């Protein structure tokens, strides 16, 4: 378990492809490899977005240097 403040942020923005709206999501976390924090954060975000918006598609981007992701 980590103690000492925020572990990072998750962000999302609504976008569309040919009038079909969807969410683009991403996360920026403090170094904490192997703890599952990024997975947990993104799962919570996905559940929230599907529960509270009418979109049926998500897209996530990962930078090429982000090997743990």
CA distance 10 to 45: 8
Name the region of 8 (left: φ>0; alpha: ψ -120 to 50; beta: rest): left
Model confidence over 9-50: pLDDT tens digits?
888 998 887 778 888 998 887 776 667 888 888 889 999 999
pLDDT digits (tens, 9 = 90+) for 40-51: 888 899 999 999
């Amino acid at each position: 378990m980590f103690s000492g403040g925020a572990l990072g942020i998750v962000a999302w923005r609504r976008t569309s492809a040919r009038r079909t709206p969807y969410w683009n999501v991403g996360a920026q976390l403090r170094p904490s490899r192997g703890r599952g924090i990024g997975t947990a954060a993104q799962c919570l975000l996905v559940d929230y977005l599907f529960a509270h918006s009418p979109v049926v598609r998500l897209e996530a981007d990962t930078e090429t240097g982000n090997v743990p992701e």
